[in-house]
Structure 1
Amino acid sequence: MKNNKLKITEDLLIKTDSRIIDAIAKLNSNTLKIVLVIDDYGKLVGTLTDGDIRRAILKNIDLNTQVINICNREPKYLTEPSIEEAKKMMLKYRVSRIPVVNTEMKPIMLFTLEEFLRNDKEHDNIPVVIMAGGEGKRLRPLTSIIPKPLIPVNGKPMLETIIDEFYKSGFSFFVISVNYKKEFIKSYFAERGSLPYEITFIEEDKPLGTAGSLSLMRNLLDNTFIVSNCDILVNVDYSSVLKFHKIHENDITIIGAIQELRVPYGVIRLKNEAVEGIDEKPEYHFIVNTGIYVLEPKILHLIPENQYYDMTELISTALENKYKVSVYPTHSGWTDIGNWNELKKLL
C-alpha cells in the first residue's frame, strides 16, 4: 500500500458558486480526481469527485450549474493528520481521499490511497480488441507510405502508444484487426522481440469497418471485452468503466467524452416568430462517442459474417433487439490522433 499526504494547493479547491464546467477543468488539472468545495471563508463544505460529475452528466444537469448543487455536502475528513486514522476511514467508508482540516475547518492537507491491494494484472481476463485495418484516409498522403497505426506519436507508433496505455491499466491480452499494409504492422511487432503482453492478429481479407472483423473473433471473445479504434487516446479509469458496465448489466457501454462547442456569434432565441432574446457567443456541451466500447460476447451474433459493418450499425441493431446500451461519460482528456489538427498538437 502506498500513501501520500499532500498539501492543499489552489487546483484542489473550488468555491461553492463555481460552475460544474470549472470543476471539470480543476479535476483534469490536478490528476487526483477530487476537488474540495469551500465557502467564501475558505471552510470545507463538501467534496466533488469524478463520480459526482459523471452522475450529473447522466442526469443531464446543465454544466453551468453551481457545484454546491451536486457535491457531497457530508464529506469525510480528519482534524488531525494521522496516517492510521486516514487508513481506517478509507477502509470503513470505501473512499480514497481524506482531507484534513484545521480548527477553522479550512483544508490543510489531503491523504490519498493509491494501489490498495491492487493486482498489477487486474484485467488479464479482459481482451482488448484494437481496430487497425483502416486506410487512414484523413491522414493522407502520409498513410500512402505507412499504415496509420504506425504513424509515430512522440517517437512511438500510435498503435503501440495505445497498447502501452491499456497495459499500464492492467490489460495484457490484445487482439489486433489488420488489413491495409498489414505486413508493416505485423513486422514491426515481430521485430520488437519479447513483449510483456500478448498480441493476436486477425487478418481481414477485405475492409470490414469498425465492427465487422469482430465476426472473425467469436472463438477468442468468450468474456467481456473492450473495443478501441487505433487512433484514440482517452484518459479514463478502466476499472471504473468495467465496474459501471457490470453494475448496470450493460451489453454495450460506450465511453463518451464532453465536447464543448462555442458559437462565435449572437444566437437569436425566437418564440412565436418574436425575438425573445439574444445569447452572445454561447457555449454548448455534448457527450460524444470516443470510439472505445465495452461489450458482452452475446452481442457478436448480431454482426453479419465477413461483411463491412460499423460500430454505429451494431449499436443500432443492439437497441432494436432490446439489448442494454449505456454510456460512461468522462470529462478527462481525449485525443483523436487520426485527425491532422490533433496529431499536430501532440507532435
Structure 2
Amino acid sequence: MKKVLISSEITLKEAINRLNELGTKTLVVSNEENILLGTLSDGDIRRAIINGNNLDENIKNIYNQNPKYVQEGKYSIKKLAEDFIRNKYDLMPMLSSKMEIKKILFLEDLLSENESAKLRPQDTTVIIMAGGLGKRLLPMTKDVPKPMIKVGDNSMIEIVIDNFKNFGFLDFIVSVNFLSDQITSHLGDGNKMGVKIDYIKEEKPLGTAGSLSLIQNIKDDKPYIVTNSDVIIDLDFRDLVKHHKDNKADITICTKFHEINIPYGVVNTNGTVISIEEKPNKSYWVNSGLYVLSPSIINKVKSDEYIDMTDLISKEISEGSKVISFPIFGYWKDIGQKEQLEEARKYLAETKEDRDEN
C-alpha cells in the first residue's frame, strides 16, 4: 500500500515515474499522519499535460482534493463493485473513523473471476498485429511465433487479449503471417477465452500497417484499435476510445513518457561552447505501439502495399489528417528483446504474488 501513497509536495514528473513503476493508474495523496488528502489519476496528469503544465510543477493544483473513499466496515462489497465499474475507478482508499488510510481497495478485491468478466461489452474492434518474424528474440522464435512466447502462465497474445477483455472489448481481428498455424490453432475462434476472433493472413510481409488493407467490411461509423501483439499495457482502453471520439481524430497515438540518462557531460557548442551539462536526463514522449484509427484511414491503405505504421502516420500528417496523442501512464512494456521479456515475466510474477497476498 505504501508505494501507492504520495506526498502533495512531489512534482508531476515524479508522479508519472511512480505510476510507471507501480503499473497503476491512480496514486493516493496523504500527509505524514497517513490522513487522506486526495487522489491523483492518470487522467488528472493527462489533462495537466494537455493544458500545458510543466513536468517540474508541484501536483498541489492538479490532484483531486475531493476523492471518493469508503469507511472501514461501512460499505457493501456489491454496491462498491458496481461503483467501480460504473465510474471506472482504479482504486479506492478505505479509511478509519479518524480518516486514516487503512487499506487501498481494487476492483479485483471485490469481484470473483466470473463477475469481473461481466463488464459491459464495447463495440470497438481490436486489431492485433501478430505477423512479425520476431528476429530480435532468436533463437526462441525460430520455431515459435513471437506472439506465442510465454510471459508467465500465458502467451503474449493471450495477455494482450485478456487485457482488452477486462474492459469489455470482445471483438478481435488478428493479422498473422509467420508460423500462423500455431496462433490460429491455439486461439481458434476465441470462444474458449470468451471473445470472438477473426483472422487476416499476409501472403508476404506487408509491414506493421500494410495488412490493414486485407480487412473486409470496414465499419464506417466506428474507430478501430490497432495494437502490436508484444505490447503489454495497463490501461483502461475505454478512455482511449473516448478521447479519440471526443477529439474527432483520424489517428490517435498512445505515447509513453520515457527518460534517458546520458552518462557523460553534454557540451552545447557551435565552435564556441554555449553550455555544458553534467550527465543530464533527457525526457521524451515515445510511441507505445497502440493506436486508434478511424475507418477512413484504414480504407486508404492500398492493397498489397508494404507500409509501416510510422510511415502511414507521417503520410496522414502531411495530408492534413488530424493526428493526436494520448499519454499513457502505469505499466507498459514493448517486448522486443530478451531483456524486456524477462522484465515482463518478473513484473507479472510480482503482480500475481501481490494479488495472492491481498
TM-score category (smaller protein): 0.7 to 0.9
User: Cα deviation per residue 1:82-117 (whole Å; 9 max; x = unaligned)?
Assistant: 659x98xx89xx79577688999x754688795999
Corresponding residue of 1:70: 62
1:248 correspondence with 2:247: yes
TM-score using structure 1 length: 0.80
TM-score using structure 2 length: 0.78
CA distance in 2, matches of 1:177, 1:52: 35
Corresponding residue of 1:260: 259
Corresponding residue of 1:34: 27
Q: Report 1:184-195 matches (<5 A).
A: 184-190=182-188, 194-195=192-193
Q: Say whether the 8 Å CA contact 2:36–2:101 is kept in structure 1.
A: no
CA distance in 2, matches of 1:148, 1:179: 11
Aligned partner letter, 2:56: N
CA distance in 1, matches of 2:324, 2:298: 17
TM-aligned CA deviation for residue 306 of structure 1: 1.5
TM-aligned CA deviation for residue 283 of structure 1: 1.8
Corresponding residue of 2:226: 227
- The gaps in structure 1 that reach 5 residues or longer are 1-8
Q: Report 1:43-122 matches (<5 A).
A: 47-59=39-51, 61-72=53-64, 74-76=65-67, 83=75, 96=89, 107-108=100-101, 120-122=118-120
CA distance in 2, matches of 1:200, 1:184: 15
User: Cα deviation per residue 1:159-185 (whole Å; 9 max; x = unaligned)?
Assistant: 222112211221111111111122222
Corresponding residue of 1:159: 157
User: Cα deviation per residue 1:317-337 (whole Å; 9 max; x = unaligned)?
Assistant: 222232211111012111111
C-alpha change, 1:46 and 1:172, in structure 2 (3 Å) is closer
1:175 equivalent among 173, 186, 200: 173
C-alpha change, 1:169 and 1:110, in structure 2 (3 Å) is same
Q: Say whether the 8 Å CA contact 2:25–2:329 is kept in structure 1.
A: no
TM-aligned CA deviation for residue 249 of structure 1: 1.4
Corresponding residue of 1:5: none
- The gaps in structure 2 that reach 5 residues or longer are 346-358
C-alpha change, 1:300 and 1:191, in structure 2 (3 Å) is closer
User: Cα deviation per residue 1:249-294 (whole Å; 9 max; x = unaligned)?
Assistant: 1121111111111111223355992444x43322222111111111
Give the CA RMSD over aligned residues. Answer: 3.6
User: Cα deviation per residue 1:103-151 (whole Å; 9 max; x = unaligned)?
Assistant: 99x7546887959999935344211111111111212232222211212
Q: Say whether the 8 Å CA contact 2:145–2:179 is kept in structure 1.
A: yes
CA distance in 2, matches of 1:191, 1:79: 42
CA distance in 2, matches of 1:80, 1:143: 51
1:237 correspondence with 2:236: yes
Number of positions where the alignment pairs a residue of Structure 1 with one of Structure 2: 330
CA distance in 2, matches of 1:262, 1:147: 34
CA distance in 2, matches of 1:333, 1:168: 16
1:24 correspondence with 2:4: no
Aligned partner letter, 1:35: V
Q: Secondary structure, in 3 states, of the residue corresponding to 2:60?
A: helix
CA distance in 2, matches of 1:65, 1:12: 20
Q: Say whether the 8 Å CA contact 1:242–1:294 is kept in structure 2.
A: yes
Corresponding residue of 1:312: 310
Q: Secondary structure, in 3 states, of the residue corresponding to 2:296?
A: helix
Aligned partner letter, 1:322: G
Aligned partner letter, 1:33: T
C-alpha change, 1:125 and 1:192, in structure 2 (3 Å) is closer
User: Cα deviation per residue 1:232-258 (whole Å; 9 max; x = unaligned)?
Assistant: 111111111112112111121111111
Q: Report 1:133-148 matches (<5 A).
A: 133-148=131-146
Corresponding residue of 1:208: 206
CA distance in 2, matches of 1:118, 1:215: 35
Corresponding residue of 2:352: none
Q: Secondary structure, in 3 states, of the residue corresponding to 2:292?
A: strand
Q: Secondary structure, in 3 states, of the residue corresponding to 1:144?
A: coil
User: Cα deviation per residue 1:179-229 (whole Å; 9 max; x = unaligned)?
Assistant: 112222222234987441111111111111111111111414442211111
Q: Say whether the 8 Å CA contact 1:121–1:172 is kept in structure 2.
A: no
1:130 correspondence with 2:128: yes
CA distance in 2, matches of 1:313, 1:132: 19
CA distance in 2, matches of 1:183, 1:144: 14
Q: Say whether the 8 Å CA contact 2:175–2:199 is kept in structure 1.
A: yes
Aligned partner letter, 2:124: I
C-alpha change, 1:24 and 1:301, in structure 2 (3 Å) is same
TM-aligned CA deviation for residue 55 of structure 1: 2.2
Corresponding residue of 1:4: none
Choose 1 or 2 for highest CA Rg: 1
C-alpha change, 1:131 and 1:191, in structure 2 (3 Å) is closer
Q: Say whether the 8 Å CA contact 2:202–2:211 is kept in structure 1.
A: yes
Aligned partner letter, 1:284: K
Q: Secondary structure, in 3 states, of the residue corresponding to 2:242?
A: helix
